[in-house]
Structures are given as structure tokens and as C-alpha cells.
């Protein structure tokens, strides 16, 4: 029975991913009109619940590996199940967030509400790239303490931060950036390329408790704490960028 405990954590990851999708689907674009008749469009604040569920899925995703090692219950089935859950929580759900942001971007343009759905389809490139990355991971046994390409949970968390940044950072410049469709397309392409690439990316696992061997992780933790204090939810993409840079620097110093 104990061998199935890690799989229960993995299924909980999947459930959180499904709840994130429900939260995204139940909240469409809100259209309002101000005193002079100008049309205002917005995304309901409740879509932030999707970010919460994706965050919980990431926590559970981390714990299932820890629990599997604790109970010595790692299995091929668990590995496959983990990837299937990750496709939902960190690929499909984040793609749907991007889909909503693209809708919002289009709605702000003249006649944008009647724009072709083809403008929105690129959001799902992220889901396809994530599925490809997970399939590649499953047939590669050399990624125990490092990854080839950025892992899907990291990408999922970056996308999940967008609604939180939008609702908590009231700077007009940030809002304009988030609803720039060309920038969103660029983000989709960049994140998708990072996932399917062979870039050496460090895993956030500790092989030992030495400071030298874990220095990049300690630096990343320090950056995360300082960024969260100063930039709040904007810290998530900042930490993601530092994560990529540290991984590449680590590879150069070890070669």
C-alpha cells in the first residue's frame, strides 16, 4: 500500500491542474462601459484561483518525488503518471491562461471581439512543447540531477504568475506589456523553445548538504527572497530568468 502513496500525490497534482482549468473556463472577459460610453474590457479577478491551483500542483509535484524516495517506491508507472499529470497542470492549464490573455489583448483592439480564433491558437503551442518535453524526459535516463531543457513546472509557474502580476501591480506600463499580443506570442515561443531545447538546466535537488555543491541553489533562494520582498509577484519571472542564467553558468564552470 505504501508504494501507492507517491502516486496519490501525483493524482492530486492532476486534480489541482483540472481545478485550474475549471477556474480559467468559468471566467471570461467582462465588458463594461464608463460614463461617456467608452467600452472597457477586463479579466475577472477570480482567474487568479487558477494560479493558486497551479502553484499547489507544483508543491505536490515536488512532494511526490520526495515521498517516492522516502518510501523507496519509485516505479516506471509513477514516472509515466507524473508526466501525464504534468501535461495537465503545467502545460494545458498555463496554455489556457495565455489563451485568455490573448483574448483580452484582442478585445482591447477595434473589432477585436470578432477576431478570428486563429489569433488565439498559438497559446496551445506551449502545451504541445510541454508534452514533447515530458515525452523526451521519460525516455532519457540521464536527467536525474539535471535537465535537458527547462522543466514544465518552472514554465507553468511563470505563466501562472501573469494573472497575479496583473491584479496586484497597477502600473499601467506592466498592464500594457501583459496585454501586448506580440509580446505574448514571443513569450509563448521562447518558453516553448526552452522546454524542447537541450540546454543544461539544474534540478533543484540536493545530492549532499555541502555549501559549494549547492551554491547555485542557495543563490537562487536568496534572489527569490529578495525579489519577492521588492517586486512581489514580478519576482516569479525574475527568479525564472536567474534560474536559467545560473544553470548555464554552472555548466560552463563545470566543463
Tens of pLDDT, residues 120-170: 999 999 999 999 999 988 887 766 667 888 999 999 999 999 999 988 876
Residue 170 has a CB neighbour count (10 Å cut-off) of: 8
Rounded (5°) CA angle 10-13-14: 95
What is the sign of the dihedral through the CA atoms of 148, 55, 61 and 124? negative
d(CA 51, CA 97): 9
Beta-sheet pairing, 200-202 with 39-42: unpaired
Look up residue 235 and give its three cell numbers. 519576482
Q: H helices of 28-151, where?
A: 48-70, 76-87, 93-107, 125-138
Burial class (CB within 10 angstroms; exposed 0-12, middle 13-18, buried 19+) of 222: exposed
Domain at 2-254, CATH from 1.20.120, 1.10.12, 1.10.287, 1.10.3470 = 1.20.120
Q: Computed over its alpha carbons, how large is the radius of gyration of the chain?
A: 19
Residue 212 has a CB neighbour count (10 Å cut-off) of: 7
Give me the pLDDT at residue 43, please: 66
Summarize pLDDT for 69-102 with one digit per residue, the tens.
766 667 778 788 889 999 999 999 999 999 989 9
Give me the pLDDT at residue 215, please: 82
Residue 142 has a CB neighbour count (10 Å cut-off) of: 8
Terminal Cα-to-Cα distance of the chain (whole angstroms): 44
pLDDT for 39 beyond 80: no
Residues 17-38 have a mean pLDDT of: 73
pLDDT for 252 beyond 60: no
Collapsed DSSP state (helix, strand, coil) of residue 188: helix
Higher pLDDT, 59 or 47: 59
**To the nearest whole number, what is the mean pLDDT of the chain?**
84
Amino acid at each position: 500500500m505504501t508504494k501507492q502513496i507517491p502516486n496519490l500525490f501525483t493524482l492530486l497534482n492532476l486534480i489541482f491542474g483540472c481545478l485550474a482549468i475549471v477556474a480559467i473556463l468559468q471566467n471570461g472577459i467582462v465588458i463594461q462601459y464608463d460614463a461617456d460610453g467608452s467600452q472597457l474590457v477586463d479579466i475577472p479577478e477570480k482567474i487568479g484561483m487558477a494560479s493558486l491551483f497551479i502553484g499547489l500542483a507544483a508543491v505536490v509535484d515536488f512532494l511526490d518525488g520526495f515521498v517516492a524516495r522516502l518510501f523507496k517506491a519509485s516505479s516506471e508507472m509513477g514516472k509515466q503518471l507524473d508526466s501525464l499529470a504534468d501535461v495537465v497542470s503545467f502545460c494545458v492549464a498555463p496554455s489556457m491562461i495565455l489563451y485568455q490573455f490573448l483574448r483580452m489583448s484582442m478585445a482591447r483592439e477595434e473589432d477585436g471581439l470578432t477576431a478570428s480564433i486563429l489569433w488565439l491558437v498559438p497559446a496551445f503551442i506551449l502545451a504541445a512543447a510541454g508534452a514533447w518535453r515530458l515525452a523526451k524526459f521519460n525516455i532519457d535516463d540521464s536527467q536525474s540531477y539535471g535537465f535537458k531543457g527547462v522543466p514544465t513546472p518552472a514554465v507553468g509557474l511563470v505563466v501562472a504568475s501573469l494573472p497575479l502580476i496583473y491584479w496586484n501591480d497597477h502600473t499601467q506600463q506592466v498592464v500594457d506589456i501583459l496585454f501586448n499580443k506580440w509580446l505574448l506570442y514571443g513569450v509563448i515561443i521562447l518558453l516553448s523553445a526552452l522546454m524542447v531545447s537541450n540546454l543544461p538546466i539544474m534540478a533543484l535537488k540536493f545530492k549532499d548538504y555541502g555549501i559549494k555543491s549547492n551554491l547555485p541553489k542557495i543563490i537562487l533562494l536568496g534572489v527569490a527572497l529578495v525579489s519577492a520582498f521588492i517586486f512581489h509577484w514580478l519576482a516569479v519571472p525574475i527568479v525564472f530568468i536567474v534560474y536559467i542564467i545560473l544553470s548555464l553558468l554552472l555548466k560552463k564552470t563545470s566543463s
